[in-house]
Amino acid sequence: MAKISIFGIGYVGTVAAACLAKDGHSVVAVDIDKAKVDSINAGKTPIVEDGLDDLIAEGVAAGRLSATTDVRQAVSQTDASFICVGTPSADDGSVGLKYVVSVCTAIGGAISAKSDFHSVIVRSTIVPGSMDTTCIPALEAASGMVAGKDFGVGYFPEFLRESTAIEDYYDPGLIVFGYKDRVTRDILVEVNEKLPCEIYAVDLRTAELIKYTSNCWRAVKITFANEIGNIAKAAGIDGQKVMRVLCSDAKVNMSPYFMRPGFAFGGSCLPKDLRALRHLASTLNVPSPMLDSTLAANEEQIRRAELLVDSLSGQSVGMIGISFKAGTDDLRESPLAQLAHRLISKGYDLRIYDPYVKSAFDQRLSGAGRGNDCVDNLENRLVSGIDGLISQSDILLIGNRYDEVVEPLSRIASTRPTVDLARLRPDLVSNGVYEGICW
């Protein structure tokens, strides 16, 4: 069992301390507020949370939970320290790190006097890069030691909801942590391995952003549901019923398929339906700022792709895919067609590989090129094979992913200027020659 000191007897720190003690770990809670320390040592909770009183009383009675104001004592008695202090917004809206830095400095001073390896694990919510640019430097400066070598470092965000925190702790929807060394990784695996959830061990910055993404995604969902509810009410409809039925659909509406960063949306449904619902809201005098910003954000993603192409050297562009999604020849409101139009207007020599659109033209189908209202001379821009497209192009622009293009494009991704909007392979990341739109 692990020996853990928890810095910050607030909401997260108290719940974590009680649950870790229940699980058999030895826990020392640390705070500058003596009243909170005394409360823990008396077997009482300093915060209101259902079930916490009993857990703290049990932990103290079993000798697995205690509290102190003495930083050095806590660090000397434990193998790892969890930092659970607040990060309130600064005046400019940025994350406030003064409490985190203060605790890192105090812990750094304490581990400098310790012969055993000690891990410092931040649980406070901090923006990506904070561990590397603020927390680790503070620890190293105070200790005179090197992170990852002389002491361990990790970032372990929490996803507890107030009023159901203990239930969430033991039945989590997500467990993720970042780490810099194997010892810290092993400690975090040990404290989580019996929980009914997959453990994701990632780098520090990824863990930091996952926490922020989770919180902001919840805020976006609430705002979206409220906006739909406002429109529904104005139209004489029960908005909660609408969202309840919608959320029962795990195949499409609750699917992770639409949660993959990439290019803009398009097609015959999403753009027009967004416009129609915005118009309905307008006629009902209901503001729809989220729906408005969705269309604006989609337009910005097209512009982002355009700028990526402009940033590379070359005049001839080979575009893979022109339809709004792979597997169809439908160009209705295709963001790729809009992007193609912009590039052609700028003078780029554009050629296109799209087997489905090409097949429709080759078979002289009556619907060939359906929905195209912006790409001039489309049929003559289509090429039959990917190898021919590659040989004719200074820049490759991957809009849709087709199985047959993965291998030939992968061979040249590091040497031929490439903009990837569809994620050719998960191991490819932007490097100046290859540019992924979101990776």
The catalytic residues are: 269
How far apart are alpha carbons 348 and 383 in whole angstroms? 16
**Phi, then psi, of 194 in degrees rounded to 5:** -90, 0
For residues 59 and 16, the answer to whether their CB atoms sit within 8 Å is no
Q: What is the DSSP letter of 47?
A: S
Pair of tokens at residue 308: 């990526």
For residues 274 and 297, the answer to whether their CB atoms sit within 8 Å is no
**Phi, then psi, of 341 in degrees rounded to 5:** -60, -45
How far apart are alpha carbons 208 and 140 in whole angstroms? 20
Q: State whether residue 288 is helix, strand or coil.
A: coil
- Residues 6 or more apart from 381 whose CB is under 8 A from it? 350, 351, 352, 375
Nearest CA to 155 out of 174, 129, 137 is that of: 129
Residue 19, exposed/middle/buried by CB under 10 A (0-12, 13-18, 19+)? buried
